[in-house]
A = this chain, B = another copy of it.
Amino acid sequence: MSEMARTPQPPYYAVIFTSERTEGDRGYAEMAEEMARLASIQPGFLGVESAREGLGITVSYWETLEAIQNWKQNERHLIAQSKGKSEWYLKYKTRICKVERDYEYKQ
Protein backbone atom coordinates (compact mmCIF):
# COMPACT_ATOMS: atom_id res chain seq x y z
CA MET A 1 0.00 0.00 0.00
CA SER A 2 1.21 3.45 -0.95
CA GLU A 3 1.56 5.95 1.91
CA MET A 4 0.93 9.67 1.97
CA ALA A 5 3.95 11.57 0.66
CA ARG A 6 5.74 13.90 3.04
CA THR A 7 6.28 16.95 0.89
CA PRO A 8 7.88 20.28 1.84
CA GLN A 9 6.22 23.70 2.00
CA PRO A 10 4.80 24.76 -1.39
CA PRO A 11 5.53 25.69 -4.05
CA TYR A 12 6.60 22.39 -5.58
CA TYR A 13 5.34 20.35 -8.54
CA ALA A 14 3.01 17.38 -8.99
CA VAL A 15 2.57 14.98 -11.90
CA ILE A 16 -0.91 13.45 -11.85
CA PHE A 17 -0.86 10.25 -13.94
CA THR A 18 -4.31 8.70 -14.43
CA SER A 19 -4.58 5.42 -16.31
CA GLU A 20 -6.68 2.46 -17.36
CA ARG A 21 -4.79 -0.82 -17.69
CA THR A 22 -5.00 -3.56 -20.27
CA GLU A 23 -5.91 -7.10 -19.07
CA GLY A 24 -3.22 -9.23 -17.40
CA ASP A 25 0.13 -8.30 -15.91
CA ARG A 26 2.40 -8.50 -19.04
CA GLY A 27 5.43 -7.55 -16.93
CA TYR A 28 3.76 -4.46 -15.53
CA ALA A 29 4.28 -5.13 -11.79
CA GLU A 30 8.01 -5.67 -12.26
CA MET A 31 8.36 -2.49 -14.32
CA ALA A 32 6.29 -0.48 -11.86
CA GLU A 33 8.55 -1.56 -9.02
CA GLU A 34 11.67 -0.64 -10.99
CA MET A 35 10.25 2.75 -11.99
CA ALA A 36 9.29 3.52 -8.37
CA ARG A 37 12.82 2.67 -7.26
CA LEU A 38 14.47 4.69 -10.06
CA ALA A 39 12.20 7.71 -9.57
CA SER A 40 12.95 7.77 -5.85
CA ILE A 41 16.66 8.30 -6.50
CA GLN A 42 16.17 11.01 -9.15
CA PRO A 43 17.39 14.51 -8.21
CA GLY A 44 14.44 16.62 -7.10
CA PHE A 45 12.11 13.70 -6.32
CA LEU A 46 9.92 14.49 -3.28
CA GLY A 47 7.54 11.53 -3.02
CA VAL A 48 4.79 9.52 -4.68
CA GLU A 49 1.24 8.39 -3.88
CA SER A 50 -0.60 5.69 -5.78
CA ALA A 51 -3.92 3.84 -5.78
CA ARG A 52 -5.76 1.72 -8.32
CA GLU A 53 -9.43 0.85 -8.20
CA GLY A 54 -10.16 0.12 -11.84
CA LEU A 55 -8.88 3.62 -12.57
CA GLY A 56 -5.28 4.09 -11.44
CA ILE A 57 -4.04 7.39 -10.03
CA THR A 58 -0.34 7.98 -9.34
CA VAL A 59 0.80 11.39 -8.16
CA SER A 60 4.54 12.06 -7.99
CA TYR A 61 5.97 15.20 -6.41
CA TRP A 62 9.05 17.11 -7.58
CA GLU A 63 11.08 20.16 -6.64
CA THR A 64 11.16 21.69 -10.13
CA LEU A 65 9.85 21.31 -13.67
CA GLU A 66 13.41 20.48 -14.72
CA ALA A 67 13.43 17.47 -12.37
CA ILE A 68 10.19 16.24 -13.99
CA GLN A 69 11.69 16.69 -17.47
CA ASN A 70 14.87 14.83 -16.50
CA TRP A 71 12.84 11.89 -15.17
CA LYS A 72 10.74 11.82 -18.35
CA GLN A 73 13.97 11.48 -20.36
CA ASN A 74 15.51 8.77 -18.14
CA GLU A 75 16.65 5.91 -20.37
CA ARG A 76 14.86 3.10 -18.51
CA HIS A 77 11.80 5.29 -18.09
CA LEU A 78 11.67 5.92 -21.85
CA ILE A 79 11.53 2.16 -22.41
CA ALA A 80 8.76 1.88 -19.80
CA GLN A 81 6.83 4.71 -21.47
CA SER A 82 7.07 2.92 -24.80
CA LYS A 83 5.85 -0.39 -23.32
CA GLY A 84 3.14 1.58 -21.53
CA LYS A 85 1.67 2.43 -24.91
CA SER A 86 2.23 -0.95 -26.57
CA GLU A 87 1.37 -3.25 -23.64
CA TRP A 88 0.08 -1.87 -20.38
CA TYR A 89 -2.33 1.01 -20.84
CA LEU A 90 -5.62 1.35 -22.70
CA LYS A 91 -5.35 5.04 -22.04
CA TYR A 92 -3.70 7.51 -19.74
CA LYS A 93 -3.56 11.20 -19.02
CA THR A 94 -0.63 13.09 -17.52
CA ARG A 95 -1.09 16.48 -15.91
CA ILE A 96 1.86 18.67 -14.86
CA CYS A 97 0.90 20.92 -11.95
CA LYS A 98 2.34 23.53 -9.65
CA VAL A 99 1.28 22.91 -6.06
CA GLU A 100 0.46 26.36 -4.70
CA ARG A 101 -0.98 25.53 -1.26
CA ASP A 102 -1.47 22.50 0.93
CA TYR A 103 -2.88 21.65 4.34
CA GLU A 104 -3.34 18.48 6.30
CA TYR A 105 -5.14 16.86 9.20
CA LYS A 106 -4.13 14.08 11.55
CA GLN A 107 -6.23 12.49 14.31
Q: Do residues B96 and A102 form an inter-chain contact, with CB atoms below 8 A?
A: yes
- Interface status of A64 (Cβ within 8 A of chain B): no
Q: Do residues A95 and B14 form an inter-chain contact, with CB atoms below 8 A?
A: yes
- Interface status of A63 (Cβ within 8 A of chain B): no
* Copies of this chain, tallied across the complex: 2
Interface of A is mostly: strand
- Interface status of A1 (Cβ within 8 A of chain B): yes
Q: Do residues B95 and A101 form an inter-chain contact, with CB atoms below 8 A?
A: yes
- Interface status of A33 (Cβ within 8 A of chain B): no
Contacts of A95 in B (CB 8 A): 7, 10, 14, 99, 101-102
- Interface status of A35 (Cβ within 8 A of chain B): no
